[in-house]
Amino acid sequence: MVDDDVPVVIVGGSLVGLSTAVFLGHHGVPSLVLERHRGTAIHPRAALVNQRTVEAYRAVGLQEEVEEAAAREFVQNGAIVSVESLGGKELDWYFRFINEGVEEISPVPRLFVTQIGLEPVLRGAAERLGARIRYASETVSVEQDAEGVTAVVRPRDGGPERTVRARYLVAADGAHSPIRERFGIRRLGHGSFSDSITIYFKADVRRLMGDRNLSVVYVFGPHLQGFFRFSIDLQAGFLVVNSTTDAGGARSVRVGEDMSGPTCIQHVREALGDPDIPVEIENVQRWSASAAYAERLQEGRVFLAGDAVHEMPPTGGFGGNCGVQDGYDLAWKLAHVLDGRAGAELLDTYDAERRPVGAFTTEQAYTRYVLRLDPTLGKENLMPIVDEAAVEIGYRYRSAAVVAGTAGDDAMWEDPREPSGRPGFRAPHLPVTVGGIEQSTLDLFGREFVVLAGSDGERWCAAARAAGTSLGVPVEAHRLGVDVTEADGAFETLYGTGPEGAVLVRPDGFIAWRASTPHSNPEGELADALGAALARPPAGS
């Protein structure tokens, strides 16, 4: 007997599961979220929410709420530094402020908000958009057949098991992902390299902080390596300890073997640089610092997202953000396949697009871990460091849902400060005026396919509408200088369309196709591009 029948069931209701439920709801797809815990996060964990993630939340109308949650928790736009201890010598400034050098590339800033602050916002939005969230509910089995997926759910507080039937399942069930294990999906990468701990403590650090606004403080001291984050009132915080070094210089990564109160107090005092400061330990969590990514993200009707498929050390603040983008990529595809606008093969592009990004991002986090915290892991075979903005926003998708551009152009990422508008990259931000309202080009995207044509590209706009009609898919079309105007004349260069070309932008804001010149058959050209982006066979085939 089936107790619930839903289009999409999501296993795991933390950052990635909740975000995916929001994005699905935005596209009109109701979901059921099954979460083993009794509510949203009780540990802060992720805090650096990058611009691409804020852009996704903006697209679903959540930017303001997320900013308010962020402002309640932190003074925004702090620095990221490394020190010997908070009160001691400063070693390096990775960022003078976290939005340094990225203000122009997006209409939104990087924010600082923990999972404690963010998840209730996501939960509320998901529920408003039609998701049901069932806490204290553990998924104990997942089976699939040609038509759908069956999950058996065990209520943690007793009562009978329930059977959920869905067309598709998203496994956002974390680094230990029972669903990944169930399907025998192996992981690649560097494995685990530290038995780390996070110490949640109370201490008045105002004197040691002085007038600095520090978002993340890496500690690379003689006896301890890890990082701090502090509460807005500087009366509490957490210290991650990844490794310790004894008086003889021997380094240990088995920090979790001693989580006793006195040891934790000693760690906090050492990292603060004050041997006598009163410290109260509130909680200690043990976790494994790992860098691992799954060999595949899909098993039939089951799609894996977030830490389930890319576990990375927190260095860089990439992990949760990368998982949110998995959900953002998957949601519009599921929505289009579920209502028949796209062919089922569109879902295969999820793995093709997101797996390389997960692996790349994990390697970038690992490189930062080695360079910032544990050079003894060895610098040979490290992926060279890529600028944060490129990791966060500049990655490229290659799949059947992107019409490849120039032959031989195999760039996998670019600096979003110098965007190219090539197919597979995020459509760049530009300030524009639409219907008298000042906004970003990004505000044109988010729900439907959009064609943006250069100032002489009227034929592309007509072709876009015709292609949409023939495929039964809404396509919005805008021409520069007509219904979209911009102050600095940069669009045609930034998007690479010239005056007579156009781009086709997907609902997730990625460029699916581009023409830089006119075409003898724009209707056919755009119908083919839209058909490819929707995994629909060309007309007449």
Question: Which residues of this chain interact with ligand FAD, rule CB under 6 A?
Answer: 11-12, 14-17, 34-37, 45-48, 138-139, 172-175, 178, 198, 240, 287, 306-307, 314, 317-321, 323
Q: Amino acid identity of 32? A: L
Residue 226 contacts residue 84 (beta carbons within 8 Å) = no
293 Ramachandran zone, left/alpha/beta (phi>0; psi -120 to 50): beta
Report the candidate in 500, 518, 385 with the shortest Cα–Cα distance to residue 454.
Answer: 500
Helix (H), strand (E) counts: the chain: 13, 26
C-beta closer to ligand FAD: residue 240 or 532: 240
Handedness of CA 509, 510, 515, 519 (dihedral sign): negative
Q: How far is the CB of 38 from ligand FAD (least distance, A)?
A: 10
Residue 41 contacts residue 116 (beta carbons within 8 Å) = yes
Alpha-carbon gap, residue 40 to 21, rounded angstroms:
14
Residue 312's SS3 state is coil
Instruction: Using DSSP bridges, classify how beta strands 251-252 and 111-112 pair: parallel, antiparallel or unpaired.
Output: unpaired
Q: How far is the CB of 321 from ligand FAD (least distance, A)?
A: 4
Q: How far is the CB of 94 from ligand FAD (least distance, A)?
A: 13
448 CB-near residues (< 8 Å, 6+ apart): 473, 474, 475, 476, 507
C-beta closer to ligand FAD: residue 16 or 297: 16
Measure the CA angle with vertex 380, ends 379 and 381; round to 5°.
115
C-beta closer to ligand FAD: residue 200 or 513: 200
Alpha-carbon gap, residue 337 to 533, rounded angstroms:
12
C-beta closer to ligand FAD: residue 11 or 281: 11
Q: Amino acid identity of 155? A: P
Q: How far is the CB of 70 from ligand FAD (least distance, A)?
A: 12
C-beta closer to ligand FAD: residue 198 or 225: 198
Handedness of CA 276, 277, 283, 288 (dihedral sign): negative
C-beta closer to ligand FAD: residue 306 or 424: 306
Measure the CA angle with vertex 39, ends 326 and 22; round to 5°.
35
C-beta closer to ligand FAD: residue 307 or 492: 307
Q: How far is the CB of 162 from ligand FAD (least distance, A)?
A: 12
Q: How far is the CB of 199 from ligand FAD (least distance, A)?
A: 11
Q: How far is the CB of 53 from ligand FAD (least distance, A)?
A: 8
Sheet order of strands, 431-434 included: 437-440, 431-434, 484-485
C-beta closer to ligand FAD: residue 140 or 539: 140
CA distance between the termini of the chain: 41
- Return the residue nearest ligand FAD (CB atom): 306
9 CB-near residues (< 8 Å, 6+ apart): 31, 32, 33, 34, 149, 151, 164, 166, 168, 169, 170
Q: How far is the CB of 256 from ligand FAD (least distance, A)?
A: 13
Q: How far is the CB of 155 from ligand FAD (least distance, A)?
A: 11
C-beta closer to ligand FAD: residue 63 or 497: 63
Token pair belonging to 496: 């690479």
Q: How far is the CB of 396 from ligand FAD (least distance, A)?
A: 20
C-beta closer to ligand FAD: residue 240 or 534: 240
Q: How far is the CB of 524 from ligand FAD (least distance, A)?
A: 42
> In 258-304, where do the E strands start and end?
280-294, 298-299, 302-304
248 CB-near residues (< 8 Å, 6+ apart): none
Alpha-carbon gap, residue 53 to 328, rounded angstroms:
9
Q: How far is the CB of 317 from ligand FAD (least distance, A)?
A: 3
Where does residue 21 rank: exposed (0-12), middle (13-18), buried (19+ CB within 10 A)?
buried
Give the relative orientation of helices 51-59 and 63-73 as an angle to the nearest 10 degrees.
Answer: 130
Q: How far is the CB of 18 from ligand FAD (least distance, A)?
A: 8
C-beta closer to ligand FAD: residue 107 or 317: 317
C-beta closer to ligand FAD: residue 94 or 287: 287
146 CB-near residues (< 8 Å, 6+ apart): none
C-beta closer to ligand FAD: residue 189 or 496: 189
